[in-house]
């Protein structure tokens, strides 16, 4: 039994369609894929908020910022 | 060349591989930019030339003996074989450097060819007119893979290796070791394919794992850059002098990788030409094992595994550009072994998981074993390639590895053993060579040279020339 449904290439290619493994799980794969994508946004937003938080705490008197502005 | 369809196919295939070669050159532009960006200013020119000169050195040696190895070693070492199987091709006719087929050649056969036993008979594999025209572009496509293996090692060892030592390692890896593993596990008649069911369609193991193994062996003998580790053994970060150059270099490597993927396919072939078990008349693209796939399959999967890697890399490295780009590359490498067959979402998920493991392993090995891999090459290529092959064994379990009868099916054990062979085939011989070079005091530059920078004398001459020409021009101003 092959995960792809292709245990042998002794076939006429006209009769072969999908050849990816675990056929029948397409909807599940899409759900997992979408979860990965949405989770990425959630994690990224949290990380960015933490980064902005630490930027806000840095250089309270604005001296470094003025230097960077002058540096262009 | 026979009928018009055959003629068109031969010339299309010739052009197809030629285009892949041009694309793959971008990999080396990218590697050079990447390495120069990662090195410090006082080492630029040596870093650049170290990688650049691997191109001609691997090219000429691949012409002299690398290509011959590919056709001679599928059953072992030509004179010492692991199996009693016949070779698909006669390496002396197809790939010895003195064969007429390794020269400028048209489709037919004349007296010179006849003296070497070369015919123009389509029924004779060695003399099939397709070889007469394709040999140069097919050789070049493999050659660009060879140079890639050498370039992978090059980045890991920057700022302290002697160039002469690196170039010997580059030739050993590029023109002997990787092409040996390609003969074994990346050819239609390779013993690993036939007896292990080894499947590695886009070279996770045969290019990346072996190069990662070679890089690790070199690093162990070479040692870290001065100052890399504190007295208490904890590592210091040595940031790239130019992160822009590093990331654009990686972008170019992605671009060249398209050519690499396309070069792993045979673009158009009839079941009759394959001469395996496939029936019917439907022509197809195939992977290197002559098993059917499509350019669409690898385009889907290349982009999805790249994306999975970049997305994962961005979050696990907290937005670090170097690791985001490297994770993209590692994502492709991790999915490459099975990217001819995976579903795109599978490729994306594998492309996300593998770089995370490699990232963790990189820092673990750095801390634990004091390995200074300047660009993460062992992680991205070595561990990524190894894992890619192992995962493919599970994902594609039971699938036919070849269109030929009597071949083992793809399986987890076969791919695991294959991944170990790939890594160790890079590691062991390169470790021995590095040890010999180390004993001869030829592996590493002296500490004084490392600290003042490899470009020290060149920079002095440069500064003197600049000063001289400025003074001369100023004197001319009236």
Does the beta-carbon distance from B343 to A8 stay under 8 Å? no
Please state the three-class secondary structure of chain B as a single string.
CCCHHHHHHHHHHHHHHHHHHHHHHHHHHHHHHHHHHHCCHHHHHHHHHHHHCHHHHHHHHHHHHHHHHHHHCCCECCCCECCCCCCCCCHHHHCCCCCHHHCCCCCCCCHHHHHCCCCCCCCCCCCCHHHHHHHHHHHHHHHHHHHHHHHHHHHHCCCCECHHHHHHHHHHHHHHHHHHHHHHHCCCCCHHHHHHCCCCCCCHHHHHHHHHHHHHHHHHHHCCCCCCECCCCCECCCCCCCHHHHHHHHHHHHHHHHHHHHHCCEEEECHHHHCCCCECCCCEEECCCCCEECHHHHHHHHHHHHHHHHHHHHHHCCCCHHHHHHHHHHHHHHHHCCCCCCCHHHHHHHHHHHHHHHHHHHHHHHHHHCCCCCCCHHHHHHHHHHHHHHHHHHHCCCCECCCCCCCCECCHHHHHHHHHHHHHHHHHHHHHHHHHHHHCCCCECCHHHHHHCCCHHHHHHHHHHHHHHHHHHHHHCC
Does the beta-carbon distance from A20 to B341 stay under 8 Å? yes
Interface A–B counts its CB contacts (< 8 A) at 95
Is residue B438 predicted with pLDDT exceeding 90? yes
How close, in Å, is residue B375 to chain A by CA atoms? 25
Q: Predicted ipTM? A: 0.94
Integer Cα distance of B362 and B338 in angstroms = 24
Domain ranges of chain A: 25-71
The pLDDT tens digits of the residues spanning B294-336 come to 999 999 999 999 999 999 999 999 999 999 999 999 999 999 9
Domain ranges of chain B: 4-445
Which residue of B282, B341, B402 is in closest CB contact with A4?
A: B341
pLDDT number for residue B2: 58
Q: What is the mean pLDDT of chain B?
A: 95
pLDDT number for residue B8: 87
Low pLDDT (below 50) residues in chain A: none
- Calculate mean pLDDT across residues B113-142: 85
- Calculate mean pLDDT across residues B455-470: 93
pLDDT number for residue B337: 98
The answer to whether B398 contacts chain A (CB < 8 Å) is: yes
pLDDT number for residue B127: 67
Dmax over CA atoms of chain B, in Å, equals 87
Give the tokens for residue B24. 């793959």
- Calculate mean pLDDT across residues B448-476: 94
The pLDDT tens digits of the residues spanning A54-69 come to 999 998 888 999 999 9
Does the beta-carbon distance from A12 to B276 stay under 8 Å? no
Residues of chain B contacting residue A20, judged by C-beta atoms under 8 Å apart: 341-343, 346
Please, which pLDDT band fits residue B117 given cuts at 50, 70 and 90?
A: confident
Q: Which residue of B has its CA nearest to A13?
A: B282
The pLDDT tens digits of the residues spanning B178-203 come to 999 999 999 999 999 999 999 999 99
- Calculate mean pLDDT across residues B50-68: 98
How close, in Å, is residue B159 to chain A by CA atoms? 31
pLDDT number for residue B7: 82
Is residue B1 predicted with pLDDT exceeding 70? no
The pLDDT tens digits of the residues spanning B142-185 come to 999 999 999 999 999 999 999 999 999 999 999 999 999 999 99
| Residues in a beta bridge with B161 | B444
- Pairs from B95-101 (Cβ < 8 Å, separation ≥ 24): B95/B67, B95/B68, B95/B70, B95/B71, B95/B135, B95/B139, B96/B68, B97/B63, B97/B64, B97/B65, B97/B68, B101/B131, B101/B132, B101/B135
Instruction: Kindly state the percentage of chain B with pLDDT values over 90.
Output: 90
CATH number 3.40.50.460 given to B4-445 = no
> For the ranges B102-116, B220-234, B359-373, B407-421, which has the lowest average pLDDT?
B102-116
Instruction: Kindly state the percentage of chain B with pLDDT values over 70.
Output: 99
Integer Cα distance of B156 and B374 in angstroms = 5
Integer Cα distance of B406 and A28 in angstroms = 35
Q: Mutate one of A17, A20, A33 to test the B interface: name it (highest B CB count within 10 A).
A: A20
pLDDT number for residue B119: 87
**Cβ burial, residue A52 (10 Å; 0-12/13-18/19+):** exposed
Which DSSP string do the residues of A4-30 spell out, in sequence order? TS-S---SBGGG----SSSTT-HHHHH
The pLDDT tens digits of the residues spanning B61-77 come to 999 999 999 999 999 99
pLDDT number for residue B132: 86
Q: For residue A55, give the 3-state DSSP assignment.
A: helix
What is the number of alpha carbons within 13 Å of residue B328 lying toward its C-beta?
A: 21
Integer Cα distance of B286 and B296 in angstroms = 12
Integer Cα distance of B471 and B477 in angstroms = 10
Does the beta-carbon distance from A4 to B398 stay under 8 Å? yes
Q: Mutate one of A3, A5, A9, A22 to test the B interface: name it (highest B CB count within 10 A).
A: A9
Is residue B123 predicted with pLDDT exceeding 80? no
């Amino acid at each position: 039994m092959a995960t792809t449904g292709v245990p042998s290439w002794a076939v006429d290619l006209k009769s072969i369609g999908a050849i990816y493994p675990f056929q029948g799980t397409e909807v599940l794969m899409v759900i997992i894929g979408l979860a990965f994508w949405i989770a990425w946004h959630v994690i990224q937003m949290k990380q960015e908020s933490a980064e902005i938080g630490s930027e806000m705490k840095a250089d309270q008197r604005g001296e470094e910022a003025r230097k960077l502005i002058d540096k262009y | 060349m026979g009928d018009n369809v055959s003629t068109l196919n031969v010339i299309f295939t010739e052009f197809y591989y030629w285009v892949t070669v041009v694309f793959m050159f971008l990999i080396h532009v990218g590697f050079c930019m990447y390495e120069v960006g990662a090195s410090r200013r006082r080492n630029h020119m040596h870093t650049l030339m170290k990688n650049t000169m691997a191109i001609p050195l691997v090219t000429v040696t691949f012409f002299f003996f690398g290509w011959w190895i590919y056709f001679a070693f599928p059953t072992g070492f030509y004179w010492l074989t692991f199996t009693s199987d016949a070779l698909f091709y006669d390496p002396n006719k197809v790939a010895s450097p003195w064969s007429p087929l390794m020269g400028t050649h048209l489709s037919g056969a004349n007296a010179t060819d006849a003296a070497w036993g070369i015919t123009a008979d389509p029924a004779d594999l060695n003399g099939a007119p397709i070889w007469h025209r394709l040999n140069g572009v097919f050789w070049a496509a493999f050659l660009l893979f060879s140079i890639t293996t050498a370039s992978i090692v090059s980045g890991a060892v920057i700022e302290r290796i002697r160039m002469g030592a690196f170039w010997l390692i580059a030739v050993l890896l590029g023109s002997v070791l990787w092409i040996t593993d390609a003969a074994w596990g990346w050819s239609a008649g390779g013993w690993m394919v036939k007896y292990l069911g080894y499947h590695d369609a886009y070279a996770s193991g045969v290019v990346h794992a072996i190069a990662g193994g070679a890089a690790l062996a070199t690093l162990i003998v070479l040692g870290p850059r001065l100052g890399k580790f504190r007295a208490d053994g904890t590592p210091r970060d040595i940031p790239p002098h130019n992160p822009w150059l590093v990331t654009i270099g990686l972008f170019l490597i992605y671009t060249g990788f398209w050519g690499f993927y396309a070069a792993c396919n045979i673009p158009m072939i009839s079941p009759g030409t394959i001469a395996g078990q496939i029936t019917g008349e439907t022509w197809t693209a195939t992977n290197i094992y002559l098993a059917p796939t499509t350019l669409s399959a690898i385009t889907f999967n290349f982009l999805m595994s790249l994306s999975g890697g970049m997305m994962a890399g961005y979050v696990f490295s907290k937005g670090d550009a170097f690791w985001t780009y490297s994770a993209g590359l590692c994502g492709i490498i991790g999915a490459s072994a099975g990217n001819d067959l995976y579903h795109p979402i599978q490729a994306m998920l594998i492309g996300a998981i593998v770089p995370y493991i490699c990232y963790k392993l990189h820092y673990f090995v750095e801390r634990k074993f004091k390995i200074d891999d300047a660009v993460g090459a062992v992680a991205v290529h070595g561990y990524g390639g190894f894992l890619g092959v192992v995962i493919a064994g599970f994902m594609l379990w039971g699938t036919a590895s070849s269109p030929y009868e009597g071949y083992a099916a793809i399986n987890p054990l076969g791919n695991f053993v294959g991944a170990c062979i790939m890594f160790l085939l890079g590691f062991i011989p390169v470790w021995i060579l590095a040890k010999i070079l180390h004993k001869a005091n030829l592996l590493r530059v002296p500490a004084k040279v490392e600290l003042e920078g490899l470009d020290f004398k060149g920079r002095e001459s440069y500064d003197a020339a600049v000063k001289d020409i400025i003074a001369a021009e100023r004197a001319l101003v009236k």
